[in-house]
Structure 1
Amino acid sequence: MQHHKKNSPKTKRPNISQYTVKEPAELLPFLLHKQSNLGRNAVKSILARGQVSVNGRVVTEYNCPLVPGQTVTINKDKVAEEPQLVGLTILHEDEDIIVIQKDAGLLSIASPQENEITAYRQLTSHVRSKDPKGRIFVVHRLDRDTSGVMMFAKSEKVQQLLQNSWQESVKDRSYVALVEGQVKKPEGTISSWLKESSTLKMYSSSRPNDGQHAVTHYKVMQSNKNFSLLEVHLETGRKNQIRVHMQDLGHPIVGDKKYGSRSKAIHRLGLHARVLAFVHPTTGQLLRFESTIPKSFLNPFRQSPS
């Protein structure tokens, strides 16, 4: 006896409903009326998942105006298109924050002149694929050519909470920097007042209170006569702080032409945000995110085969 045939799947009818619009309406009330067996939240999530189209075009806005003669299609089999993330990986996401690892080369957010793809823009699409009203708020930035861990807020309230308590909330913000030359002191602290020149380049002033106070701590992890790999802790987070301070130290970051580097040893900037540890703004929990040191940073220290 062959029992196994009983479980063979029946050809499933596609789960598609089509309606013709008879009178002007907004999309959400129209769907609630047509799908009266579903609750409001269920209909909202069908919309958010991109399963509703009007005349063949996917629409997610609740208040999309409908006019007589249009065709509204609901396809519950359609899997939501999660936008592809380019140059970043999400490490953590909850109702309040998103923590990512950013690749070198990706802008955190665009300046008014630039219209290219950014971490900010991609994460906005990502949250909107689940909630059409979703938004993203900038908490801190990484330079375009710096890779590593960074965080965004999902509401203005959380952004404010984080920015107002940044010094207390952030328990560890450490980077690895590949710099030119052999750093002699195994560890040290650089302290200066940072200012911005008319060409938007930051520089250190030795005059107290002349600019923004910046403090950087470093430890040598590995070095040879050409390069040093440093672990860098920020006490303050000023624009280009580590890059200026490494130049001040006489050991500019590899690939940082703007701040004195002549080496292109790794074909990118030798700066990576390795650790971000902070107290969660609403749960109070201590979260810690650590990303691996880019392999290219370690290449200068590999023994060359004899």
Structure 2
Amino acid sequence: MSETRTFEADETARGERVDRWLTAQLAPLTRTRVKAMIEGGAMSVNGAVHTDPSAKLKGGEAIVVTPPPVEDPEPQPEDIALDVLFEDAHLIVLDKPAGLVVHPAAGNWTGTLVNALLHHCAGSLSGIGGVARPGIVHRLDKDTSGVMVVAKTDEAHQGLTQLWQAHDVERAYLAVCHGSPRPSVGTIELPLRRAAGDKRKQAVARWDDEGAREAITHFRRLEGYGAGRAKLPGETVASLVECRLETGRTHQIRVHMAHVGHPLVGDQTYGRSGLAGLRPEDEPAERALKTVAGFKRQALHAAVLGFEHPVTGEDLRFETAPPGDFRALTEALSAL
């Protein structure tokens, strides 16, 4: 509940405690929550603020409830295992698993990477990102795995932010997409903005669109799958692609690849189901189709992250292999 609500206590309410009566009107709020709201001054009776939850109603009262704005809970440390690749006094680099949300937000107030970092770093994280995003310089989508760096000090946070703004960071991703990009090596330079009508999605925009932001993705095909079993001779049903980012917009690779006709396998937002063009004529094809059908996240892994340490000046570069589900997907496709 967040909006103001108005009620009239009729004669049947006479003699009932106001907190008990109001709880019935505000279900599913608990009586404890309603009592706290009353004591906090969120209720008025006949135009006057009323803070006694035990007061008895006389019947005929006009009751207005104006709850205080809901504050996002401050993230708390949680003992969640982390795969740490590098750590010093200034920053920490880790291999984020798919399924782990980076920072708390609506629907995910606990169990995030930030909660894990607060425990691991004993509260030693840069405060520049705010209470909900301490130390977060960049992020990976929940269902994207791979290398991330987090700042432990404000100095490191500022330095890393400058590197990102200058596009002076090496970032390479592995992705499995539908079909085969042609040409096999190229650059997608299309601005992005929030999709109309759905702020959770991104869309390709025109440069003069409000909110349009530059987005540049370089790609090259590493391997093609299924040409021998495609419905059209010589066609490739899926490909392993390396994508390198100049910019780091939300969902950039996913939107760019989908826009050019090669959405990522498993992408529940921008992708498509099945393997278009594959003939299910034998066991390898059936296994590939089953594996793709069971892959319920975007097939995207942040494989390489390289940058100059913002404090020591050391050149750092980290590379990780895709996780097991990603490898199982490519193995099933390689058998085609």
TM score, norm. by length of structure 2: 0.61
Q: Which secondary structure state, in structure 1, belongs to the residue aligned with residue 215 of structure 2?
A: strand
Tell me whether 1:270 sits opposite 2:299 in the alignment: yes
| Inter-CA distance 179–221: structure 2 relative to 1 (3 Å threshold) | same
| Inter-CA distance 232–297: structure 2 relative to 1 (3 Å threshold) | farther
Deviation of 1:95 after TM superposition, in Å, equals: 0.3
Deviation of 1:261 after TM superposition, in Å, equals: 2.3
Tell me whether 1:240 sits opposite 2:251 in the alignment: yes
8 Å contact kept, 2:180–2:221: no
1:1-306 pair list within 5 angstroms: 84-86=79-81, 88-128=82-122, 133-135=123-125, 136-168=134-166, 170-197=168-195, 198-200=197-199, 201-207=201-207, 211-224=212-225, 225-263=236-274, 264-265=292-293, 266-294=295-323, 295-303=327-335
User: 2:33 is matched with which residue?
Assistant: none
Deviation of 1:169 after TM superposition, in Å, equals: 6.9
8 Å contact kept, 2:86–2:92: yes
8 Å contact kept, 2:79–2:119: no
8 Å contact kept, 1:222–1:301: no
CA distance in 1, matches of 2:167, 2:241: 24
Q: Which secondary structure state, in structure 2, belongs to the residue aligned with residue 138 of structure 1?
A: coil
Deviation of 1:160 after TM superposition, in Å, equals: 1.7
Deviation of 1:209 after TM superposition, in Å, equals: 6.5
8 Å contact kept, 2:167–2:247: no
Superposed CA deviations along residues 193-231 of structure 1, whole A, max 9, x for unmatched, are 101023121000134575001000000000122211100
| Inter-CA distance 180–300: structure 2 relative to 1 (3 Å threshold) | farther
Deviation of 1:299 after TM superposition, in Å, equals: 1.9
**Percent identity between the aligned chains?**
37
Deviation of 1:162 after TM superposition, in Å, equals: 1.1
User: 2:24 is matched with which residue?
Assistant: none
8 Å contact kept, 2:145–2:322: no
Q: Which secondary structure state, in structure 1, belongs to the residue aligned with residue 169 of structure 2?
A: strand
8 Å contact kept, 1:169–1:278: no
One-letter identity of the residue aligned with 2:308: V
Consecutive aligned runs of 4 or more in structure 1 exceeding 6 Å deviation? none
Q: Which secondary structure state, in structure 2, belongs to the residue aligned with residue 92 of structure 1?
A: strand
Which structure 1 residue ranges, 5 or more long, are not aligned? 1-82
Deviation of 1:164 after TM superposition, in Å, equals: 2.3
Give the number of aligned pairs.
218
Deviation of 1:119 after TM superposition, in Å, equals: 0.9
8 Å contact kept, 2:257–2:263: yes
Bigger strand fraction: 1
Q: Which secondary structure state, in structure 2, belongs to the residue aligned with residue 213 of structure 1?
A: coil
CA distance in 2, matches of 1:219, 1:297: 19
One-letter identity of the residue aligned with 1:260: G
Which structure 2 residue ranges, 5 or more long, are not aligned? 1-77, 126-133, 226-235, 275-291
CA distance in 1, matches of 2:322, 2:265: 15
8 Å contact kept, 2:80–2:111: no
Superposed CA deviations along residues 82-116 of structure 1, whole A, max 9, x for unmatched, are x7534x41111000000010111000111144223
| Inter-CA distance 153–274: structure 2 relative to 1 (3 Å threshold) | same
| Inter-CA distance 236–100: structure 2 relative to 1 (3 Å threshold) | same
